[in-house]
Amino acid sequence: ETGVTQTPRHLVMGMTNKKSLKCEQHLGHNAMYWYKQSAKKPLELMFVYNFKEQTENNSVPSRFSPECPNSSHLFLHLHTLQPEDSALYLCASSQDPGGGNTEAFFGQGTRLTVV
């Protein structure tokens, strides 16, 4: 079992659909992150959760709605997406985001296609 697990691995959705991405970490970390990786672009940080509290929203459109019920689980709820939202969505976790051990570990990603 990998340290950070994402489901589903692939997702195709229409612009009127509602879907959710799930991330679970088994590393005992306190911080979790969502990143977006579009084709030909570097990874972009979307959201940061520290001890279940959102500490960063990097100007992400409201059609992306994160949820962190506890330090081990992170969701990204999707609704009325646009084709340009098609990308690889990566979840990560780290032990201590407050300046201590911030080594990040990533899940396998969800490849999202919006049609």
Partner 1 sequence: GIQVEQSPPDLILQEGANSTLRCNFSDSVNNLQWFHQNPWGQLINLFYIPSGTKQNGRLSATTVATERYSLLYISSSQTTDPGVYFCAVELNTNAGKSTFGDGTTLTVKP
Contacts with partner 1 by CB under 8 A lie at 31, 37, 42-43, 45, 48, 50, 55-56, 88, 90, 92, 94, 97-99, 102-106, 108-109, 111
Decide the pairing of beta strands 110-114 and 44-50: unpaired
Rounded CA separation 36/103 (Å) = 18
Which CB sits closer to partner 1, 31 or 74?
A: 31
Which CB sits closer to partner 1, 66 or 109?
A: 109
Which CB sits closer to partner 1, 75 or 105?
A: 105
From the CB of 97, what's the least distance to partner 1, in Å?
Answer: 3
From the CB of 73, what's the least distance to partner 1, in Å?
Answer: 18
From the CB of 25, what's the least distance to partner 1, in Å?
Answer: 14
Rounded CA separation 20/87 (Å) = 14
**DSSP string for 16-55:** T-EEEEEEEE-S--SEEEEEEE-TTS--EEEEEEETTEEE
Which CB sits closer to partner 1, 64 or 109?
A: 109
Rounded CA separation 35/65 (Å) = 13
Rounded CA separation 115/85 (Å) = 10
From the CB of 42, what's the least distance to partner 1, in Å?
Answer: 4
